[in-house]
Amino acid sequence: MTRMIILIAMFLAPLHARAYPQFIGHGYPSCMNCHYNPMGNGPLTDYGRAVGADGIASGALYPKSWSEEKVASLSGFLFRTPVQKHVRVQANYRGMEMISSVGTPSERWSWIHMQAGGQLILKFLENDRLTFVGEIGYNPNSSSARATGQDKRKLRTREHYVGYRIKPEVGVYAGLMDKAYGIRVAEHIAYSRILPELTQNDQTHGVMVHGLLDGWEGALHGFVGNLLQPRDLRQVGASAQIERQIFNDHRLGFSLMSSKNDYVKMLSYSLHSRLSLSDGSALLIEAGQTEKISLGSRGDRIGRYALLQTYTRPIRGLYFFTNIEYLKSDLSNDATTVRWGPGIQYFPVQKLELRTDLYQTRTFNPNASTQDGWTILFQTNVWL
């Protein structure tokens, strides 16, 4: 009964949301339309928050007398219209109830604080050409870190950078950011994020140049690792991502990343596509490979991954989706893993997202037999 109360409370709680790459189905092929970071992720611009309010979230719960302009005017911090142009404050929380090993004696329920933090944005010059973005958030330690007493920080900075648009088509960004590589899907457990090390805590200090030109969009990112990490662990290198717009709202892209620290040298490359299927529906595809060359006594390893996500929007605010993932973590090993499952994403009102995922994980290995794993995720996301 207690667990049921938790689930009900989770689904009734207010939430935080950010734009997702599948929103190309709404006619936004470039993340720069709605984000201060032109490669996506991070705080939303005023325009992005307004789009989320009157174009993404369901309008079914708003009074019929409210116009789209009225709804958009409530998209600011604490539902207020900004009274000045230079300072923006945002806050968000994302939590998840995870049910692992479903239907087995080892079934486990656990609540995970995925994200809790605040953002400060300072913007100056005409058309906000100069921006300062900073975010500090709760650090959800892993179970292994808690067990060993490692990484006891309760707060951590997830990004802090300055951006300057030299002109509308060219911008330079310097500071702590996510690496420019692949599709920035929301799922931190996606193999396309785990294998090339692009997960929730893999931000890096560096300088990124972003450009737009005649249907092309790309970024070149040189980085020196996260300066808050020990020097020997910092991955130093560079990445590049480029996309070509085809047939109006579709994108085809390629990514390349090379880096190393004192222990391993990494080379990752991938192809991806983001396809608009009309009226909010989209198809995302990415396939890539990561080579890890040991600089010590451990052996080299080459891993390969693939991702396919389908999104269908039957009505405004509601999305049905399917994730299909493939992973071969070591090409010299016969084992491969396939994970798939359906999900539902719902934005009942602005600043509120509800999401449910069902995953089945199956490992194919001619030398061993493993039981299929089932996992259910209930996510709640609130932003102010």
Residue 20: its pLDDT value, please?
A: 83
Summarize pLDDT for 212-223 with one digit per residue, the tens. Answer: 999 999 999 999
Q: Count structural domains, the chain.
A: 1
Task: Quickly state the pLDDT bin for 141 (edges 50, 70, 90).
Answer: low
Contact 181, 196 (CB under 8 A): yes
Summarize pLDDT for 72-118 with one digit per residue, the tens. Answer: 888 888 888 888 999 999 998 988 899 988 888 889 999 888 788 89
Confidence check: pLDDT of 63 > 50: yes
- Residue 107 burial by Cβ neighbours in a 10 Å radius (0-12, 13-18, 19+): exposed
Contacts of 338 (CB under 8 A, 6+ apart): 324, 325, 326, 327, 361, 362, 364
**Range 67-84 burial, b when 16+ CB lie within 10 A, else e:** eeeebbbbbbeeeeeeee
- Round to whole Å and give the CA distance between 314 and 333: 42
Residue 365: its pLDDT value, please?
A: 86
Contacts of 295 (CB under 8 A, 6+ apart): 260, 262, 263, 264, 265
Confidence check: pLDDT of 356 > 70: yes
Locus of tokens 């600043």: 351
Confidence check: pLDDT of 18 > 80: no
Confidence check: pLDDT of 278 > 90: no
Which helix (H) or strand (E) segment holds residue 120: the answer is strand 108-124
CATH of the domain at 122: 2.40.160.10
Please report, rounded to a whole number, the percentage of residues in the chain having pLDDT higher than 70: 91
Residue 27: its pLDDT value, please?
A: 86
86 token code pair: 């230079």
Summarize pLDDT for 161-191 with one digit per residue, the tens. Answer: 999 999 999 999 999 999 999 999 988 889 9
Q: Which range marks the domain in which residue 151 is found?
A: 2-383
Residue 1: its pLDDT value, please?
A: 36
Residue 139: its pLDDT value, please?
A: 66
Give the number of other CB atoms < 10 A from CB of residue 147: 9
Residue 145: its pLDDT value, please?
A: 45
Across all residues in the chain, what is the average pLDDT? 87
